[in-house]
Amino acid sequence: MSCIILAVVLVVSGAGPAQAGARQLLYYNHAWGTLDRATADAVEHSRYLKDFADLEVRTTTGADGKVWTGRYLRGRETYMEIFGPGDVPGKDGEPGSAGLGLSTEHDGDIEKLKARLLAAGEKPIDFLQTRDFGDGKPVPWFDSLFLIEEYERFGAWAMEYRDEYMDDPRSKVGPARFPGDVTRQRYLPDVYEDKMMRDVTLVRLAVTASDLADTVPLLRAGGFSLRTEPGSVVATRGGTTMRFDEAPPTRIGLKRVEFALNRPVARHVEELGTSTLVVGPGKRAVWTF
């Protein structure tokens, strides 16, 4: 354990609040995890989850013709995406793989983030994600920044929604509340109001030491407050806590998600494949994998 602790301390040396007085540029948008087939299927067909959250099962065609099928549990500003084996191409479709999207709230902030990363000695990689609504004409969806070209099994990226997507009626996003509004709340539908789930408040992921080291600079530049715990890095600030635990490749993946609920509910336990969702009592739910 001592060597793990040392590795984490070295990774985040000097990583408290990002920069004194620096405005936060990134916020938790969503996390995804690839689970076993039984769990993915249980999520997709669960009657209970349809009452718990705004649950959508969707096949999407993105940039370069990449196609994936996800199960989305959407809240007011945040959401989760669940894959089963092979639901997304390549190693992302293998159980244990996971990812994290961190988004801006104001148009142009991704350029400010890029400047911070460059100033910190990083070499951010630009990528434009698109979405095909079915007519064969990809619409610019969001600009993104990566710090590495290829991760082991977990990758994090920064993203900023594009005006072309936000203004397309097929995207079904809400109207802008201020100039340059690319907020998560505008992007997500208001269906959550009639469900139990309001937002994701905590995500816990087990990742390799290499993937963690590649993630921390993005968290720091985005304005999150980082702290170390034995074998872990915890990112706070912005409403959702993100905990990253170092683990060997055989034990990586999405481990725990906590939710804030719209209203207090009685305790309910829902078994979903090999995972367990405990809802209540009160205005909190915990999903363990």
Residue range 196-211, pLDDT digits in tens: 999 999 999 999 999 9
Chain mean position to CA 116: 21
For the chain, what percent of residues have pLDDT higher than 70? 93
H or E element, residue 155 = strand 154-161
Structure tokens at 85: 């084996």
Closest to 33 (Cα-Cα) out of 171, 148, 200: 200
Q: State the pLDDT at residue 230.
A: 87
- Give residue-wise pLDDT tens across range 38-95: 999 999 999 999 999 999 999 999 999 999 999 999 999 999 999 999 999 999 999 9
Could you tell me the pLDDT band of residue 2, with boundaries at 50, 70 and 90?
Answer: very low
pLDDT at 216 over 50: yes
pLDDT at 7 over 50: no
pTM for this prediction: 0.92
CB 43 within 8 A of CB 49: yes
Range 278-285 average pLDDT:
98
- Name the average pLDDT for the chain: 93
pLDDT at 4 over 60: no
CB 118 within 8 A of CB 111: no
* Angle between helical axes of 209-222 and 2-11 (0-180°, round to 10): 30
Q: State the pLDDT at residue 9.
A: 41
Strand ranges of the sheet holding 154-161, from the earlier edge strand across to the other edge: 54-61, 67-74, 79-83, 27-34, 98-103, 154-161, 139-146, 125-131
How many Å apart are CA 30 and CA 107, to the nearest integer? 19
CB 183 within 8 A of CB 224: no
Could you tell me the pLDDT band of residue 19, with boundaries at 50, 70 and 90?
Answer: low
16 against 203, higher pLDDT:
203
pLDDT at 10 over 80: no
CB 173 within 8 A of CB 187: yes
Range 13-21 average pLDDT:
49
pLDDT at 3 over 80: no
Range 162-175 average pLDDT:
96
For the chain, what percent of residues have pLDDT higher than 90? 91
Residue spans of the domains in the chain: they are 2-288
Longest dimension (CA), the chain: 55
pLDDT at 286 over 80: yes
Range 112-120 average pLDDT:
98
Could you tell me the pLDDT band of residue 232, with boundaries at 50, 70 and 90?
Answer: very high
210 against 22, higher pLDDT:
210
CB 245 within 8 A of CB 231: yes
